[in-house]
Amino acid sequence: MGERLDVGDRLLSYQDVLDLDTHEVPKHIRQENRGEFSWTEASIERYTSREWHLREKDRVWKRTWQFVCREENIPDVGDHIVYTVADLQYLVIRSAPDTIRAYPNACLHRGRQLKDFDGWCSEIRCSFHGMSWDLDGALKQIPAPWEFPHVEKDDFSLPAVSVGTWAGFVFINPDPDAEPLDDYLGELTDHFAKWKLEDRYIQAHVSKVLRCNWKVAQEAYMECWHAAATHPQTVPYAAFGVCQVDCYDNFARFVTPSEVVGPMTLGDPTTEEMLKATMDVRVDEELPVQPLDGETARDFVVSNSREKWRGLIGDEIDDWADCELVDNFTYTVFPNMMPWGGVHRLCYRFRPYGDNHRESIMDVFLIGPYTGERPPPAEEIKLDADTSFGSRSELGLVGNILDQDVYNMEKVQYGMEAASKKTVTFAQYQEDNIRWMHQLMDAYMEED
C-alpha cells in the first residue's frame, strides 16, 4: 500500500508494517517524534496515594484545559451543564448565542451549589436564599439587600473560569493565568482539520464508574500491545505491537495498522478470517459479505469505508488516505481526553470519581457524522461499577471490548495496593505516550 497521511510537516508510512513477516521482531516505524524519556519506571504512589491525589487535584485539575461537553449539549442561551472532576464542580452555560461561560458551582453567599443538574435557566439563582446572577455572571438581585450594605455589586460577580472551544468540544481551565486553548492544543488542530469533528454529533454517551484510579483506566487505552492477551479476538486483523507512537507538547498518539498481519498474530490469517474477526462473525458462520477475487481484507475495508463515508460527507472522502479509513489513530490530550481520528467515532474521558483516588469515571462518546440537520445529542447513560458497557446496545461491539479492559482495571488497582515492588515498569517504545503523560504531569505536580 504505502499510503501516506500528511499531518503538518510529518508523513506517516505503513509500508514497513505491511511488509512484516509473521513473528518478525518489529522495528520502530518512526523515531523522530519519540521525545526524550529519562526513566522507564514510576512509583505506584501515583495511583494509590491519597496525598498524591490531593496534590494532583490542586496542581493538575485546577490548572489544565479539560473537555467538559460538546457545543450541541448547550445550543441555546441559558442551556447549562454541571461538570464534576474529583470534588471540584463547575457550571458551564451558554450566556449569549456565541458565548459560553463557566463558573465554580457555588453561591457567593453561603456556598450552596448554584445548579444541581444540567438544564436551562433564564438566570442563575441560588435555591437557598434566592440570590441571583445574570447569565454573564453579573449580580442581579440580593433579597433583603439592606442586610448586605458591605457588598458592592460590581465586586460580587460570579468568578469566571476560562472557556475555549475546538472541533465542537467545550473546554474549561480553572487557572486564571491559563494560556489560550489554541496555544495549548498546538499542532493537534492541524492533525484533526480534515476530519472535521465539529461537523459531527454525539450519537451515544455512556459513562461508567470504575473501581480504580483514573490513570489506571486511561493508560489501558494509551497502548495497544495488551490486545493479544486482553482482546484475542482482535488479533487476526490488527498489527498490535508495532504501533507508531508520537509525543508532542500537550498531546500524544499511537497509530495501530489494521487489516494487516502483525508480529503478534498467530499463523497467517486469510482475508475471510481477518474480516470475520473484524465483523465479530463466528468462525463456524458464513461471512455476510463477499470480497472480490484477490481482494485483501485491508482493500475491502478501505473500499467499503470510503463509500460509506461518501454518503455522509461527499466526495471530500477522496482526499482521505487509505490509512485514515482503516487504521486506528488514538490521541491523548493531556490530562484526560482521548479523541480518535479518521473514520473512528470514539472519544474517551477519564476523571476521579468524587474525592476518592481509588475510583474513577470513564465517559465513552460516539461522535458521528450526519446528513441534513444536526440530530440532538444523545443523553448520557450512567452505569454503576457493576453494570457492563456491553449491556448498552448504543455502543455496539465496542461495549464488549471495553468490558475486557474494565475486567483488568480493578485487578490492577488491587495488585498495586498489594505489590512489594513499588514501581510500575513501562515499555521502551510502545508505552512512550504513557511515559510522556507522567513526565508532563510531573511538571505540573512540581510547580509551586
Query: Are 348 and 413 in a shared domain?
Result: yes
**pLDDT above 70: residue 21:** no
Residue with cell 496542581: 59
Cell of 251: 498531546
Q: In the chain, how many domains are there?
A: 2
Element (H, E) at 82: strand 79-85
**pLDDT above 60: residue 25:** no
Element (H, E) at 13: strand 10-13
Decide if 188 is inside a domain: no
Domain span at 83: 66-177
C-alpha torsion angle, residues 144, 145, 151, 154 (rounded to 10):
130
**pLDDT above 70: residue 317:** yes
Res. 302 pLDDT band, cuts 50 70 90: very high
Query: Are 110 and 131 in a shared domain?
Result: yes
For the segment 79-105, what is each residue's pLDDT rounded down to a tens digit?
999 999 999 999 999 999 999 999 999
Q: Quick one: pLDDT at residue 39?
A: 66
Query: Are 315 and 429 in a shared domain?
Result: yes
- The least confident of 39-48, 122-131, 326-335, 368-377 is 39-48
Report pTM: 0.90
Average confidence score pLDDT of the chain: 89
- The bridge status of strand 346-353 relative to strand 423-425 is unpaired
Region 5-25: mean pLDDT is 36
Decide if 183 is inside a domain: no
Q: Which is more confidently placed, 265 or 429?
A: 429
| Rounded Cα gap, residues 207 and 365, in angstroms | 9
Query: Are 50 and 114 in a shared domain?
Result: no
Decide if 15 is inside a domain: yes
| Rounded Cα gap, residues 289 and 278, in angstroms | 12
Query: Are 234 and 381 in a shared domain?
Result: yes
Query: Are 266 and 412 in a shared domain?
Result: yes
Please enumerate in sequence order all residues whose Cβ is within 8 A of that of 394, keeping only pairs 6 or more positions apart, or say none.
Answer: 203, 204, 206, 366, 378, 381
Element (H, E) at 102: strand 99-104
CATH for 108: 2.102.10.10
For the segment 197-229, what is each residue's pLDDT rounded down to a tens digit?
999 999 999 999 999 999 999 999 999 889 888
Decide if 92 is inside a domain: yes
For residue 6, the SS3 value is strand
Decide if 186 is inside a domain: no
Query: Are 38 and 94 in a shared domain?
Result: no
**pLDDT above 70: residue 127:** yes
CATH for 10: 3.90.380.10
Q: What is the 3-state secondary structure (H, E, C) of 312-345?
A: HHHHHHHHCCHHHHHCEEEEEECCCEEEECCCCC
Burial of 443 (C-beta count, 10 Å sphere; 0-12/13-18/19+): exposed
Decide if 182 is inside a domain: no
Query: Are 55 and 76 in a shared domain?
Result: no
Phi (first) and psi of residue 334, to 5 degrees: -60, 135
Query: Are 434 and 400 in a shared domain?
Result: yes
Which of 144, 177, 210 delimits the end of a domain? 177
Query: Are 371 and 400 in a shared domain?
Result: yes
Please enumerate in sequence order all residues whose Cβ is within 8 A of that of 75, keeping only pairs 6 or more positions apart, or say none.
Answer: 94
Q: Quick one: pLDDT at residue 292?
A: 87
For residue 27, the SS3 value is coil
- The least confident of 165-169, 257-261, 408-412, 441-445 is 257-261
Q: Which is more confidently placed, 383 or 5?
A: 383
Q: Quick one: pLDDT at residue 448?
A: 65
For the segment 357-405, what is each residue's pLDDT rounded down to a tens digit?
999 999 999 999 999 999 999 999 999 999 999 999 999 999 999 999 9
Query: Are 37 and 171 in a shared domain?
Result: no
Decide if 404 is inside a domain: yes
Q: What percent of the chain has pLDDT over 90?
A: 75
Decide if 291 is inside a domain: yes
Query: Are 170 and 311 in a shared domain?
Result: no
